[in-house]
């Protein structure tokens, strides 16, 4: 049996709990959508044409190592850095470590990143820059890079329905290799 760990506290998501908007309510709308044909997701709708609208999620301090942040993304705007990984220092200053740009195709977007020392990490999901456009995010995952490779292998073998899992650990009774 193997045990993989998704470090994202609200991976489905099951609510908007923990997601904090950067800009005020006049810039974007964030809502939790439960859908009978797909899993639940967070929907971000741009209310105006300002750029850099996002929601952040503080995952806490991660130890040194290589990681992957990934989510299933559907967005009505191209050329948008939909997923971002931010390091936060002890004074609250932010530094972007990595991001991935939406290429107009819905699907799983991944952001690999490496930490040379324990680092407080803040994840972002971006809202579109154009008023009226939307982006939705579901099946969020943050895990060690080697764990993510195992998740992808399990998905490719048909053991997992998506390259993602929820819960703190996922026991699977099968050989990976």
Phi, psi dihedral angles at 113 (to 5 degrees):
-150, 155
Q: Is residue 109 scored above 70 in pLDDT?
A: yes
Q: Tens of pLDDT along 114-150?
A: 999 999 999 999 999 999 999 999 989 999 999 999 8
Please report the domains of the chain, with CATH numbers, ordered by start residue: 2-157 (2.60.120.260)
User: Is the CB of residue 128 less than 8 Å from the CB of residue 49?
Assistant: no
Helix (H) or strand (E) holding 71: strand 65-75
Across residues 95-122, what is the average pLDDT? 93
């Amino acid at each position: 049996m193997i045990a993989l760990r998704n470090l994202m506290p609200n991976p489905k998501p099951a609510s908007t709990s923990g997601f904090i908007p950067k800009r005020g309510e006049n810039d974007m709308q964030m809502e939790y959508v439960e859908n009978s044909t797909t899993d639940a997701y967070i929907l971000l709708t741009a209310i105006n044409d300002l750029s850099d609208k996002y929601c952040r999620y503080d995952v806490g301090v991660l130890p040194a190592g290589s990681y992957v942040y990934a989510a299933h993304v559907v967005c009505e705007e191209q050329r948008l850095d939909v997923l971002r990984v931010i390091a936060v220092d002890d004074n609250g200053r932010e530094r972007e470590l990595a991001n991935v740009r939406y290429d107009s195709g819905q699907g799983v977007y991944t952001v690999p990143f490496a930490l040379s020392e324990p680092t407080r990490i803040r994840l972002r999901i971006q809202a579109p820059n154009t008023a009226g456009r939307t982006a939705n995010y579901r099946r969020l995952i943050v895990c060690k890079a080697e764990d993510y490779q195992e998740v992808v292998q399990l998905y490719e073998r048909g053991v997992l329905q998506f390259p993602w899992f929820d819960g703190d650990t996922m026991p699977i009774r099968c050989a990976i290799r």
